[in-house]
Chains A and B, each alone.
Chain A
Amino acid sequence: MRTARSLDWQLAAPLALFYVAFVFAPIGLLVAVSFAESPEFDTFSLHQYARVFGDAYQRGILADTLQIGAQTTAVTVLLAYPLALLHLRSGPTVRRLILLAILLPLLTSTVVRTFGWVVILGRQGLINTALLGAGLVEKPVQLLYTHNALVVALAQIELPLMALPIINALARIDPTLIDASATLGARRWRTFFKVVLPLSLPGLIAGMALVFAGSISAIITQTLVGGGRMLFMPYHLYQQAILANDWPFAAALAVILLAFVLMVVGSLLAFERSMARWRHAG
């Protein structure tokens, strides 16, 4: 028994060392830098954190970033869940086609997909051309560089990260449970809310965590589709670190963003665990 345990440690050691050297140590360094009062690193305090939380403008950037993450996550849930259900209820050919449609965008770089949205949403883009052609508008509508356009673009780009875990979770539900629910008199919606949704929760939560983290850090899409008048944490960080050379402030921004992402993802996982306990208790 002891030998087996020591072998486990030996097997885990390389990855553990990798994480310590290349994940935890840099994060530790980042946290240390965030306490410096100035780029000269002469004194240390909570000054950089006070700069962020004591300024409505800085708080606004953080709030906008979290909001864009939450909205994108919500839209991808609404789009991906029906798609996953359709996948579950389809025959093998349609399933393969759905899976191909989900996976295909992943084979194209985010930059290309983002430029696709720039072309679609522009003044002379697909949507405006169609609207003008149909006589629905007299002059092009401003779509690019708007909040809603950014949410839609991010949702499309992040969709596979939501759809795949949900499809995986739904596929693992025993079909006899759904039949049993129907046999006991539950209608479709009741079966969905009482059986399907709770059992697919692990996949849904995993997808939400992935999409939330992905969309709030999507600097390319935020910059190209959102434009320079919308400022989110990733580009704000880049500006402070690379353009303004204010490393301590940039480090504080990074630590705060990381903390919020961990809080949101942690809350989602805690919720999923509590639901799992409730399911097993019931």
Chain B
Amino acid sequence: MTTSRRRVLGALSGVTGSTAWSLPAAAQERRLVANTYPGLWEEAHRLHLLPAFKRVSGIDATLTPMLAVDVIARLAASRGTPPFDVILNDEGPFLANIDQDFFETLDASKLPNLADIPQKFIDPTMKGVYVSAQIIGLAYNPARVQTPPTSWDDLARPEYRGRVGITGPGSSLAVAWLVETAKLHGGSEANLEPAFAQLRKIMPNVGAVTAHPGQLITLFQQGEIDVSFSYLNLIAPLKARGVPVELVKPETGWVLLRNGVQIVKNTRSPQLAHAYVNAYLGREVQAGLAAAPYYLAPTNTAVPFGGELQTIGQSMADLERSVIIDWAKINPQRSALIERFNRETRA
């Protein structure tokens, strides 16, 4: 019997491997990769979240700007070796994929800041926690619109002909508008038919259909559209730059779109991932993200609303009566909804 080089190397790797496993788990974790949304989200995370995380972990997290749907596609393509440890995700894509075994169950004992988070912002299955809420309302240009919109139905007003911008069904924003419009006419998340009837009515007014909500902002700046539905965190920075634009509360109330974080299944840095999530839930980071120019409503109850957010309420408690979309009912029809929207709006 000869001793091969492979056997020797195998034995050596076994020795080094067992030595490594005897070290504390967190000491082996040297890397954390997370996604952020492009634009102001990324800026806010680099300015507030990454330094807070580094203070508790000593690690520089790698941040990749990428939309939630693109992240999910990558997780699906690489289950064994996920490219992310923690992901930022809207509640729609999160709940649509909650049964796909993409997300690790959170360990509450490693998330002390969870104590400041209301129950409605913690996923009951502990697969994720909501870190912020985007506030959806009606946006308009006060310099060119005499009568501001007050209802989701107002997009059909004749005086807005050619001046309305809407975004496509791939965005949570458009789905929120469809649901709220359906509810005004006796529909619901399970019955969006009344919303499509209303969509047909507003199409003569629609000057632009964009692929992403961010493009609506560009169109407001260029004077291409004067009325739309939008997020506060898109409108407020624009207003701060001197663009004539306002966001108003619809008669039926603000709509909240919750943004959550999840720890990815098979992450090699579970300790760091929990530290990152905990830092995100902390008062300091939440206050930073709620301040100008980001205006992301904090889910941490100890963080008061400031600046532009104060036009909405004093804290998350004032948003108790805001609308939350039932994504569990929406998600199964997402594919059909996209196709229907395309058919209805196609030129």
Contact = CB atoms under 8 A, between A and B. Distances in A.
Interface in B271-327: none
Best-surrounded residue of A145, A231, A240, A245 (most CB of chain B within 10 A): A245
B208 interface: yes
A256 to B, nearest CB: 17
A220 to B, nearest CB: 10
Contact of A223 (B211, B218, B334): B211
A123 B220 CA distance: 11
A125 B223 CA distance: 10
B208 A244 contact: no
Contacts of B73: 241-242
A6 B222 CA distance: 63
A227 B335 contact: no
Contacts of A236: 342
Decide if the interface of chain B is mainly helix, strand, loop or mixed.
Answer: mixed
Nearest to A223: B211
B170 A239 contact: yes
Nearest to B166: A228
A235 B347 contact: no
Interface in B66-111: 69-70, 72-73, 96
A145 B223 CA distance: 14
A229 B346 contact: yes
Contacts of B224: 122-124, 144
A145 B70 contact: no
B347 A230 contact: yes
A86 to B, nearest CB: 35
Given A57-B343, A229-B209, A231-B346, A123 B222 contact: yes
A125 B219 CA distance: 12
Interface in A223-251: 223-224, 227-231, 235-236, 239-246
Contacts of A228: 166-168, 208-211, 345
Interface residues of B, number: 31
A119 interface: yes
A21 B257 CA distance: 42
Given A123-B223, A230-B347, A243 B210 contact: no
A119 B224 CA distance: 10
Nearest to B206: A229
Nearest to A235: B211
From A236, A244, A246, name the one whose CB has the most chain B CB atoms within 10 angstroms: A244
B338 interface: yes
Interface string A106-121: 0000000000001100
B170 A243 contact: yes
Most interface-central of A119, A122, A243 (chain B CB within 10 A): A243
A246 B335 contact: yes
Nearest to B209: A228
A236 B339 CA distance: 9
Contacts, number: 71
Given A144-B224, A239-B338, A243-B334, A229 B345 contact: yes
Interface string B133-155: 00000000000000000000000
Nearest to B73: A242
A224 B224 CA distance: 13
A200 B338 CA distance: 46
Contacts of A118: 218, 222
A243 B166 CA distance: 17
Interface in A41-57: 57
B77 to A, nearest CB: 10
B213 to A, nearest CB: 12
Nearest to A229: B347
B297 to A, nearest CB: 25
Contacts of B215: 224
Nearest to A57: B343
Contacts of B96: 245
Interface in A113-161: 118-119, 122-125, 142, 144-145
Contacts of B334: 243-245
A245 B72 CA distance: 9
Interface in B160-193: 162, 166-170
Interface string A189-233: 000000000000000000000000000000000011001111100
Given A57-B343, A244-B338, A245-B335, A227 B208 contact: yes
B211 A119 contact: no
Nearest to A247: B76
A242 B169 CA distance: 12
A186 B66 CA distance: 62
A87 B206 CA distance: 45
A123 to B, nearest CB: 5
A66 B114 CA distance: 54
Nearest to B170: A243
Contact of B222 (A124, A235, A240, A244): A124
A122 B223 contact: yes
15 contacts: A142-B162, A144-B224, A145-B207, A227-B208, A228-B209, A228-B210, A229-B209, A229-B346, A229-B347, A236-B342, A239-B342, A240-B338, A242-B73, A243-B338, A245-B72
Interface of B: 69-70, 72-73, 96, 162, 166-170, 206-211, 215, 218, 222-224, 334-335, 338-339, 342-343, 345-347
Given A228-B211, A229-B345, 4 more contacts: A144-B208, A228-B209, A231-B346, A245-B96
Q: Which 7 pairs of residues, A with B, have the shortest CB-CB distance?
A: A228-B209, A244-B335, A229-B347, A243-B170, A124-B223, A122-B222, A228-B168
